[in-house]
Amino acid sequence: MMLVPDVPVIDTAVDSADAQPTEAELGVYAELDQQLETQLAKWREVLSRDVPAFNDTMQKKNVPLIDLHAKSIELLDRLGPAISPALGPLKPDGTLDKTHLDEEGSALFGALMADEVRRVVPELAAHIRLASGARRATRAEHLRDEMREHLRLKEIGVLSAGEYETAKLHILDEHSPAQPPLARA
Protein backbone atom coordinates (compact mmCIF):
# COMPACT_ATOMS: atom_id res chain seq x y z
CA MET A 1 0.00 0.00 0.00
CA MET A 2 1.46 3.32 -1.02
CA LEU A 3 0.25 6.27 1.01
CA VAL A 4 2.78 8.89 -0.04
CA PRO A 5 1.14 10.13 -3.30
CA ASP A 6 -1.85 11.58 -1.39
CA VAL A 7 0.30 13.46 1.14
CA PRO A 8 1.17 16.41 -1.20
CA VAL A 9 -2.55 16.94 -1.82
CA ILE A 10 -3.21 17.26 1.89
CA ASP A 11 -0.07 19.38 2.37
CA THR A 12 -1.19 21.81 -0.34
CA ALA A 13 -4.70 21.99 1.10
CA VAL A 14 -3.39 22.72 4.58
CA ASP A 15 -0.88 25.34 3.38
CA SER A 16 -3.45 27.19 1.27
CA ALA A 17 -6.31 27.33 3.77
CA ASP A 18 -7.16 29.87 6.40
CA ALA A 19 -10.29 27.98 7.41
CA GLN A 20 -11.42 24.69 8.87
CA PRO A 21 -10.84 21.61 6.65
CA THR A 22 -13.66 20.75 4.30
CA GLU A 23 -15.67 17.54 4.64
CA ALA A 24 -13.79 16.16 1.61
CA GLU A 25 -10.41 16.94 3.19
CA LEU A 26 -11.49 15.36 6.46
CA GLY A 27 -12.64 12.32 4.50
CA VAL A 28 -9.28 11.97 2.76
CA TYR A 29 -7.52 12.35 6.11
CA ALA A 30 -9.70 9.69 7.73
CA GLU A 31 -9.10 7.31 4.81
CA LEU A 32 -5.33 7.83 4.89
CA ASP A 33 -5.30 7.55 8.68
CA GLN A 34 -7.08 4.20 8.45
CA GLN A 35 -4.70 2.97 5.71
CA LEU A 36 -1.73 4.04 7.82
CA GLU A 37 -3.09 2.28 10.90
CA THR A 38 -3.59 -0.90 8.83
CA GLN A 39 0.00 -0.77 7.60
CA LEU A 40 1.34 0.00 11.07
CA ALA A 41 -0.58 -2.98 12.50
CA LYS A 42 1.04 -5.21 9.87
CA TRP A 43 4.46 -3.79 10.74
CA ARG A 44 3.90 -4.33 14.47
CA GLU A 45 2.92 -7.92 13.68
CA VAL A 46 6.15 -8.43 11.73
CA LEU A 47 8.15 -7.01 14.63
CA SER A 48 6.33 -9.02 17.30
CA ARG A 49 5.95 -12.35 15.46
CA ASP A 50 8.21 -12.68 12.43
CA VAL A 51 11.39 -11.07 13.74
CA PRO A 52 11.49 -13.17 16.94
CA ALA A 53 10.75 -16.32 14.89
CA PHE A 54 13.61 -15.45 12.53
CA ASN A 55 15.95 -14.80 15.46
CA ASP A 56 14.97 -18.14 17.05
CA THR A 57 15.68 -19.96 13.78
CA MET A 58 19.07 -18.27 13.49
CA GLN A 59 19.93 -19.26 17.06
CA LYS A 60 18.79 -22.88 16.57
CA LYS A 61 20.96 -23.18 13.46
CA ASN A 62 23.93 -21.55 15.22
CA VAL A 63 24.07 -18.75 12.66
CA PRO A 64 25.68 -15.58 14.03
CA LEU A 65 23.03 -12.92 14.39
CA ILE A 66 23.38 -9.20 14.87
CA ASP A 67 20.18 -7.46 15.90
CA LEU A 68 21.03 -4.13 14.31
CA HIS A 69 17.58 -2.77 15.18
CA ALA A 70 18.13 -3.33 18.90
CA LYS A 71 21.76 -2.18 18.74
CA SER A 72 20.73 1.01 16.89
CA ILE A 73 18.10 1.83 19.50
CA GLU A 74 20.59 1.12 22.29
CA LEU A 75 23.18 3.39 20.65
CA LEU A 76 20.75 6.25 20.05
CA ASP A 77 19.40 5.97 23.61
CA ARG A 78 22.95 6.15 24.92
CA LEU A 79 23.81 9.18 22.76
CA GLY A 80 20.56 11.00 23.52
CA PRO A 81 18.05 12.84 21.32
CA ALA A 82 20.39 15.73 20.52
CA ILE A 83 22.50 13.47 18.27
CA SER A 84 19.69 12.44 15.90
CA PRO A 85 19.72 15.62 13.76
CA ALA A 86 23.45 15.12 13.16
CA LEU A 87 22.92 11.66 11.62
CA GLY A 88 20.57 12.25 8.73
CA PRO A 89 19.99 14.70 5.91
CA LEU A 90 17.22 17.25 5.90
CA LYS A 91 14.20 16.84 3.65
CA PRO A 92 13.36 19.62 1.19
CA ASP A 93 10.88 21.02 3.72
CA GLY A 94 13.67 21.36 6.32
CA THR A 95 12.55 18.51 8.59
CA LEU A 96 14.85 15.65 9.52
CA ASP A 97 14.86 12.61 7.24
CA LYS A 98 14.69 9.83 9.83
CA THR A 99 15.04 7.07 7.23
CA HIS A 100 18.34 7.82 5.50
CA LEU A 101 21.76 8.56 6.91
CA ASP A 102 24.20 11.26 5.92
CA GLU A 103 27.97 10.74 5.92
CA GLU A 104 28.30 11.09 9.70
CA GLY A 105 25.35 8.77 10.33
CA SER A 106 26.74 6.21 7.90
CA ALA A 107 30.10 6.32 9.65
CA LEU A 108 28.49 5.91 13.08
CA PHE A 109 26.28 2.96 12.10
CA GLY A 110 29.02 1.44 9.94
CA ALA A 111 31.31 1.45 12.98
CA LEU A 112 28.52 -0.04 15.10
CA MET A 113 28.05 -2.85 12.57
CA ALA A 114 31.79 -3.46 12.28
CA ASP A 115 32.11 -3.66 16.08
CA GLU A 116 29.20 -6.11 16.26
CA VAL A 117 30.65 -8.30 13.49
CA ARG A 118 33.98 -8.35 15.34
CA ARG A 119 32.17 -9.35 18.54
CA VAL A 120 29.78 -11.93 17.05
CA VAL A 121 32.09 -13.39 14.38
CA PRO A 122 35.61 -12.81 15.73
CA GLU A 123 37.23 -14.70 12.84
CA LEU A 124 36.18 -11.80 10.57
CA ALA A 125 37.84 -9.14 12.74
CA ALA A 126 41.13 -9.22 10.83
CA HIS A 127 39.29 -8.65 7.55
CA ILE A 128 37.37 -5.70 8.97
CA ARG A 129 40.57 -4.06 10.18
CA LEU A 130 42.11 -4.63 6.75
CA ALA A 131 39.13 -3.06 4.98
CA SER A 132 39.04 -0.01 7.25
CA GLY A 133 42.78 0.45 6.79
CA ALA A 134 42.33 0.45 3.02
CA ARG A 135 39.94 3.43 2.94
CA ARG A 136 40.69 5.81 0.15
CA ALA A 137 41.92 9.33 0.78
CA THR A 138 39.66 11.01 -1.77
CA ARG A 139 36.02 10.69 -2.74
CA ALA A 140 37.10 10.00 -6.33
CA GLU A 141 39.19 7.00 -5.24
CA HIS A 142 36.33 5.75 -3.07
CA LEU A 143 33.88 6.15 -5.99
CA ARG A 144 36.21 4.23 -8.30
CA ASP A 145 36.52 1.36 -5.81
CA GLU A 146 32.77 1.29 -5.13
CA MET A 147 32.01 1.15 -8.86
CA ARG A 148 34.57 -1.62 -9.40
CA GLU A 149 33.07 -3.67 -6.56
CA HIS A 150 29.58 -3.38 -8.00
CA LEU A 151 30.88 -4.38 -11.44
CA ARG A 152 32.60 -7.39 -9.86
CA LEU A 153 29.35 -8.36 -8.14
CA LYS A 154 27.53 -8.15 -11.48
CA GLU A 155 30.18 -10.23 -13.23
CA ILE A 156 29.97 -13.04 -10.66
CA GLY A 157 26.17 -13.06 -10.77
CA VAL A 158 25.38 -11.49 -7.40
CA LEU A 159 23.79 -8.46 -9.07
CA SER A 160 21.60 -8.61 -12.17
CA ALA A 161 22.28 -6.12 -14.97
CA GLY A 162 19.29 -4.06 -13.82
CA GLU A 163 20.39 -4.09 -10.19
CA TYR A 164 23.89 -3.08 -11.27
CA GLU A 165 22.57 -0.14 -13.32
CA THR A 166 20.35 1.00 -10.44
CA ALA A 167 23.26 0.72 -7.97
CA LYS A 168 25.54 2.58 -10.37
CA LEU A 169 23.10 5.49 -10.67
CA HIS A 170 22.69 5.56 -6.89
CA ILE A 171 26.45 5.61 -6.34
CA LEU A 172 26.94 8.39 -8.87
CA ASP A 173 24.10 10.40 -7.32
CA GLU A 174 25.64 9.97 -3.86
CA HIS A 175 29.07 11.08 -5.03
CA SER A 176 27.88 14.02 -7.11
CA PRO A 177 26.09 16.31 -4.63
CA ALA A 178 26.79 19.45 -6.70
CA GLN A 179 25.26 17.90 -9.81
CA PRO A 180 21.52 17.51 -10.46
CA PRO A 181 20.33 13.94 -9.80
CA LEU A 182 20.92 11.57 -12.70
CA ALA A 183 17.91 10.58 -14.78
CA ARG A 184 16.65 7.14 -13.96
CA ALA A 185 15.42 4.90 -16.71
Question: What is the pLDDT tens value at each position of the chain, 185 positions in all?
Answer: 455 555 566 566 666 667 888 899 899 999 999 999 999 999 999 989 998 999 899 899 999 888 888 888 888 888 777 777 777 777 788 777 777 777 778 888 888 888 899 898 888 888 776 656 666 667 777 777 778 877 877 887 777 888 888 878 877 777 665 545 445 44
Same domain, 147 and 112: no
pLDDT of residue 185: 45
Distance, in Å, from the CA atom of 16 to the CA atom of 36, rounded to the nearest integer, reads: 24
Burial class (CB in 10 A: 0-12, 13-18, 19+), 48: exposed
Same domain, 33 and 43: yes
**Residue span of the structural domain in which 46 resides:** 1-15+22-63
What 8-state DSSP symbol labels residue 96? B
Give the list of residues 6+ apart from residue 173 with CB closer than 8 angstroms, or none.
Answer: 181, 182
Query: Into how many domains does the chain fold?
Result: 3
Contact (CB, 8 A) for 166 and 156: no
Same domain, 69 and 59: no
Same domain, 35 and 76: no
pLDDT of residue 176: 66
Instruction: Extract the runs of DSSP E, i.e. beta strands, from the chain.
Output: none
- Is the pTM here over 0.85, yes or no? no
Question: For 109, phi and psi rounded to 5 degrees?
Answer: -75, -30
Same domain, 127 and 144: no
For CA atoms 93, 94, 97, 103, give the dihedral sign. Answer: positive
Same domain, 72 and 131: yes
